[in-house]
Structure 1
């Protein structure tokens, strides 16, 4: 990948990607805890600072923009404080936001970190029905965006925006326009989809998509999982993220390659899947074959897990990593 990194990043910078999915704001409270509360047996956190970044589908968009491509994001953002902050972050990265209909609050995940360790997470969100995006509205809003994009990413965090009807409509519009479509699924929602170009489940999600239960002390049934997922969903490419075991690549239901992890030191896996998805789609839309795209994505994700908190990878970081020392 190092030999082709420069030309690939140049091609990526000319890509235009549309991301549709569950948008959220990630909030981090950084501090220290040296005493126990007299009110309850819990630590007292002395707060040092607060930071905010894009999360969920917005983090996918952030990774795309950080790698130099143009990105449009379709997702629900309210007019509340979290929504205003998220809009500012997206604007700073030149990400165009297409607000979708909805009546809920902006999804906000607050993580409390003490001495670089996560103490707890606080979630603020509305019921899934508040974020649903009617297919008719989607067609009117997205038809031109899909036609202008080089690829479409569906980022599902099981919060409600991606429904069977929306996925079917986006797939229909994309096929008519000859566009590449990728999905990062959350199988617990049993979302219906078929004949997409790429899906990127993790190990646990791959079991769910295949209709299997993990067996303790048994090896990962890679061949059966790939065969079952292809039979059920007809996906062209399947890339399963296996954590410390790297990436498993499958085309047409058959395993083509396993790529070892590129992570050097793992601090936080938050957002690594978003980085892998964004990098894969960018590389594939720029003309890379699946194996080369997977190496690129693996390297990008390896950088991200070395950071604490949700954070994107940048083209500069990739170039630095590829520069001989």
Structure 2
């Protein structure tokens, strides 16, 4: 199918996203002097902006591409939570109010920005055990929603939502629902992601998943990495993202396609992985081949990293973009 036809199918491809939900808070200002109290800059605050981060940014990417989206994870009954639910609502992202809790503070990342540069980041969150999304109520509703969805994206930012119990339940439900299950893995957590339909590790994550350690200056051993991941996790589709070196599309333990990056300018790589897994999953669920989906995701990522902060991409931007 043509690119336009594929993008048109996105509107009829509902996707569920489950993972660590965050509020990204940007504090913008200028610094022209050093504090008399300590050798640090004094930032004169000019404005604040807010957007969805973590798994919520995956949902934002899907919604921007035109897909119906429902989001699962925890948001606190607090001021940051009010802001985050407002962002989700304004972007037509469904979120059940049952997943707001006074005992689970909203994960918030505040970035202090001075002249387009990040000066520091302040994180607000509870211990990861607080955010586990694997109670019977959570999993039962998620299973019910899978019956009408085309895909589930598991977005693990290592904050606690994603557990072995959650992943096992998704695999159990796949056969009866027909849902494609995609995972953006965090190998350090040692969770079992074996048998998933799609995994999208970056360069460092792929090395960890393959059990390979190399010097940073050594060439990336792509064939060995792909074979190792295939042996260890047996994904139906494996796409390894390599930043400036593009993507590897893999099939049966071998590199099937190498896709060079189409980025014109790299302004901010924040959230680029979210753009990739969102576009890949949506395209696959809409009927594209993995190669077609990877080319589309590569183009979307090239657009996203040319923007400041966690950014989304529209279908029209993809159609207009020439790598």
Structure 2, gaps ≥5 residues long: none
- The Cα offsets for residues 104-162 of structure 1, whole Å up to 9 and x where unpaired, read as 21100111111111111111000011101225233321122111100110000000010
- The Cα offsets for residues 203-233 of structure 1, whole Å up to 9 and x where unpaired, read as 1111111111122432101111111111111
- Give the root-mean-square deviation of aligned CA atoms: 1.5
Query: 2:198 corresponds to which residue?
Result: 198
Structure 1, gaps ≥5 residues long: none
Distance 2:181 2:175 in 1: 9
Distance 2:24 2:214 in 1: 31
Distance 1:101 1:71 in 2: 18
1:223-238 superposed matches below 5 A = 223-238=223-238
Distance 1:130 1:146 in 2: 25
What is the TM-score normalised by the length of structure 1? 0.95
Q: 2:23 aligns with which of 1, 22, 25?
A: 25
Partner SS for 1:148: coil
Checking the alignment, whether the CA contact within 8 Å between 1:279 and 1:293 is kept in structure 2 is yes
Query: 1:84 corresponds to which residue?
Result: 82
What is the TM-score normalised by the length of structure 2? 0.96
Moved runs in structure 1, 4+ residues, more than 3 A? 98-102
Query: 1:240 corresponds to which residue?
Result: 240
1:126-165 superposed matches below 5 A = 126-165=126-165
Worse-superposed segment, 307-316 or 133-142: 133-142
- The Cα offsets for residues 25-48 of structure 1, whole Å up to 9 and x where unpaired, read as 100011111111111111111111
Distance 1:281 1:289 in 2: 11
Distance 2:3 2:242 in 1: 24
Query: 1:262 corresponds to which residue?
Result: 262
Checking the alignment, whether the CA contact within 8 Å between 1:101 and 1:131 is kept in structure 2 is no
Checking the alignment, whether the CA contact within 8 Å between 1:19 and 1:152 is kept in structure 2 is yes
Whether 1:39 and 2:34 are equivalent positions in the alignment is: no
Worse-superposed segment, 45-54 or 91-100: 91-100
